């Protein structure tokens, strides 16, 4: 099962009990489809870059929640009921790409030799670097040429 992040942006005045009820409802939906909630993070109240217009006004801040879950690929279609949720300003489901999980992670072939080739010497070329670089001589010669002309 792939790993997903579900970002929920709720209205700023939503009480914690109501927020937890919504998160529990999404969690039960995921569990009902043999999924697993791996992490829930609250970022608190955040300022928005622009106002989000809803029927009851325009909102310039909201409460941001992140739910990380492992679920079936059709979870996006199954969470469409969140569009009718009046406590939400926006929601977004993001799939983690390139993540190895389950059997793939267990059988991943990574050795220490593979990791060592990404050390500092693989990134930087230390050869040809002088100990001291004396730029003053270069500038002095340029100044002397300018004075001659």
Read off the pLDDT of residues 63-83 as tens digits, 9 standing for 90 and up: 999 999 999 989 989 999 999
Q: Which two tokens stand for residue 146?
A: 């300018």
Q: Residue 8 class from Cβ within 10 Å (0-12 exposed, 13-18 middle, 19+ buried)?
A: buried
Domain coordinates of the chain in residue numbers? 3-99
> Does the domain formed by 3-99 have CATH 3.40.30.10?
no
pLDDT for 117 equals 61
pLDDT for 98 equals 74
Express each pLDDT in 2-26 by its tens digit.
899 999 999 999 999 999 999 999 9
Q: Which two tokens stand for residue 144?
A: 């002397």
pLDDT for 106 equals 53
CA angle 18/21/65 to nearest 5° reads: 80
Percent of the chain beyond pLDDT 90? 58
Q: Which residue has tokens 């909630």?
A: 37
Contact 67, 26 (CB under 8 A): yes
Looking at per-residue pLDDT, the higher value among 58 and 142 belongs to 58
pTM of the model: 0.64
| 95 Cβ contact list (under 8 Å, min separation 6) | 2, 3, 4
């Amino acid at each position: 099962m792939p790993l997903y992040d579900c970002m929920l942006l709720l209205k700023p005045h939503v009480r914690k009990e109501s927020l937890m009820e919504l998160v529990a409802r999404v969690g039960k939906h995921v569990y009902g489809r043999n999924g697993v909630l791996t992490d829930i993070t609250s970022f608190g109240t955040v300022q928005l870059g622009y106002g989000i217009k809803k029927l009851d006004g325009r909102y310039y801040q909201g409460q941001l929640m992140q739910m990380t879950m492992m679920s079936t690929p059709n979870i996006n279609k199954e969470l469409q009921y969140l569009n009718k949720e009046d406590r939400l300003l926006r929601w977004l489901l993001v799939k983690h790409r390139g993540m190895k999980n389950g059997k793939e992670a267990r059988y991943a072939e990574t050795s220490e030799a593979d990791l060592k080739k990404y050390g500092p010497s693989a990134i930087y070329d230390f050869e040809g670097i002088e100990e001291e670089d004396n730029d003053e001589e270069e500038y002095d010669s340029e100044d002397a040429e300018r004075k001659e002309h």
